[in-house]
Amino acid sequence: MGAVRLDLRLGSHSEWIKIFDPRDWTIFVPCTEDVENGASLRLDLDVGGWLVTLRGTVVGTRRDPAGVVVALGGSERDKINYLNGYVRGGLLDLRKKRRLPIRLSVTYGAVEGPATTFTKDINEEGLFLFTENPLPETSQIHMLVTVPGHAQPLSLVGKVSHTIISEDEEPPGMGVVFEMDAAQREAVIAIIEKLESQLRDGDHPEHAD
């Protein structure tokens, strides 16, 4: 039997603080489904626009409110640390960052060697790449992003935050959060602002489907 899959959308940062217990690295996931203790669980979490997939094991249930308590594995530590930093306000508030549905060519380092694909969307903080073979979550990835009007591809490094596989009934791929210094961030923000202006004016030649 595969992992149980649940979705959870949090409207504010404070809601994450309420469901995550840093003492034992468990989270409370509201649900009305009958999920057995010991079941493997995949949680697709949206915290104010920041998407991440968390995996763990159900270790308990609650009735009021109804839900399950999930123990997160050690492999989720990087994502939780990043998420906690985001919640504390150390990162930009992605709720204010619109994802631009723009199709840009990207060459990146896949497991089998260099691969070329396209973005589904992009903003100042990251992008989503279409691929049948996404890298494992938390993997570091180097990307060359072709931007119209720029002679050289944009060289970016990021970390895989979440993946979608073909069985998920959505276009498969992976979300990537950029890892940049201040100078790179300023350059990326300027590019995103230009792309947004072109998209708004209908001047951009490539729109994602």
Q: What is the DSSP letter of 98?
A: P
Whole-model pTM: value is: 0.58
What is the C-alpha to C-alpha distance for residues 115 and 175, in angstroms, rounded to an integer? 16
CATH fold for domain 4-94: Thrombin, subunit H (2.40.10)
- Whether the ω angle into residue 65 lies within 30 degrees of 0, i.e. cis, is yes
Cβ contacts of 127 within 8 Å, gap of 6 or more: 104, 106, 119, 120, 121, 145, 158, 175, 176, 178
Q: Regarding beta strands 4-10 and 40-47, do their DSSP bridges make them parallel or antiparallel, or are they unpaired?
A: parallel
Q: Which of 23, 12, 2 is nearest to 46 (CA)?
A: 12
* Domain assignments of the chain as residue spans, ordered by start: 4-94, 97-201
For domain 97-201, the CATH superfamily is predicted glycosyltransferase like domains (2.40.10.220)
Write out pLDDT tens, residues 18-46: 899 888 889 999 998 888 899 999 888 88
Q: Considering the chain, what is the average pLDDT of its residues?
A: 83
pLDDT for the residue numbered 97? 58
